[in-house]
Structure 1
C-alpha cells in the first residue's frame, strides 16, 4: 500500500512552503517544518478544522482557497514522481505483487497528481482515499478499508509512508510499515512511530525480496 503525497508524487515539497507562507500572512506565523509536524499525512479536513479553530471559519476557507489555487498551479509546472518509484511499482507488478494507493488526499487531488506524473494507470481501480472512511490517519481506518477492498489480510500488507501520521496508521492497522527517509519527515520520528526506514525507493526491491525469501 503506497501513500500518495511524498511517496508516489513529490508534492509535499511544493505544498508545505505555500501553506506556511499563507498561514503567516493570514495571522498564524508558521514555518514549513511546523506544517510538516502538525499536518503532513493527515487529511485536508483536519487541517482546515485546526485553522478554523485558530483563525475562524472564514479565514480557514480563505486559506483553503488560496493554497489550493497556488499549489495546483505549482503542480502543473513542477510536480514530478518521487525518484525511483515508477521502477519500484513496475518491479512489484512484474513480480506479481498486488499494489494499491491509500492516501489522505481526495480522489480529485490524486487524479491530478498521479495523472500529471504518469502513475495513475499503474493503480487503476485500486486508489483509496481517506474521504471513504470515518477517520483519517493516524487512525487505521483507511488502511483497513484498503485491505478489505483488496481482499487481503491486513497482517500480510506492507505500507510505504513518509509521514508520522501515516506510519502510526499502518502500525495501528497491524501492518508492516516502511518509512521513506528521503522525504520531509525526520527519519528518527518515522522510526519512533514504528517504521522500518529506507533511503531510496529502489532499496525496497531488496528489502521485499529478502522478506519473501525469509517467509518462504
Structure 2
C-alpha cells in the first residue's frame, strides 16, 4: 500500500500520461489501462462534488496587476473541467497552457518556458505559483521566481529550495510578488 504523502510526492505535478507510464512500469500495461480509466472516473466525480477555488484566490488574482496564465500538467480537457468548476476557465481563456504542448513535463522547465514565450514575457520576469515540488523545480530550472503554495496537499518542506518563497495563505501572494 502506498501512503497518501508518498502519492503527493511521487505524482502531484505530473501529467496523467507520466503517471500512467509509472503505473505501467510497475504493474504492467493492462493494469495501467484499468487504473487510468478508473482514475478518470473518480477524478471527474471528485471535481464535480468537491472542487472549490482556493480561499482568497479570486481577490488575489484581482490584486495582481501583472499578466497571468495557467501552465498545468493537466490536459486542456481536464483544465476546461477543473477551471470551469471553479469559475477560472473564462478568466484565463487564451492563456491556458498544458504539458501536452511540450515534449517534457515538470520538473523540466519546458512548460513554463512555453507559457512565458507565448505571453511575450522573459523568464526572469516571471513569477510561478506552484503547489507541487515538481512544479517548483521546473520554475527554478526555467530561471523564474518560484512561489510554493503550502496551503493544499503538498507539505511546505517539499516546496522549499533555493530562491523559493513558501506561503500558506493565498492572500499573501500579491505582497510577496511585489517584494521580490
> Do they superpose with TM above 0.5?
yes
The one of 7, 11, 18 aligned to 1:46: 18
- In 1, Cα distance between the equivalents of 2:12 and 2:31? 20
- 1:88 matched residue in structure 2: 60
Q: Of 50, 64, 71, which aligns to 1:78?
A: 50
SS across alignment from 2:151: coil
Q: Any idea what SS the aligned residue of 1:191 has?
A: coil
Post-superposition shift, 1:193? 6.2
1:168, 1:194 within 8 Å by CA — same for their partners in 2? no
- Give, in whole Å, the separation in 1 of the partners of 2:169 and 2:98: 25
- Number of the residue aligned with 1:161: 130
Aligned to 1:178, the other structure's residue is in SS state: strand
Return the TM-score normalized by structure 1.
Answer: 0.80
Change (3 A) 1:198 1:119: same
**Aligned pair 1:185/2:154, yes or no?**
yes
What is the correspondence of 1:170-181 to structure 2 with a 5 Å cutoff? 170-181=139-150
1:144 maps onto 2:113 in alignment: yes
Unpaired stretches in structure 1, ≥5 consecutive residues: 1-28, 212-216
- Structure of higher RCO (CA pairs closer than 8 Å, 6+ residues apart): 1
Q: What TM-score comes out, normalization by structure 2 length?
A: 0.96
**Structure 2 stretches of 5 or more lacking a match?**
none
Partner of residue 29, structure 2: 57
Equivalent residues of 2:127, 2:177 under 8 A apart: no
1:208 aligns with one of 173, 177, 180: 177
> How far does residue 189 in structure 1 lie from its aligned partner after superposition?
2.2
Aligned residues: 180
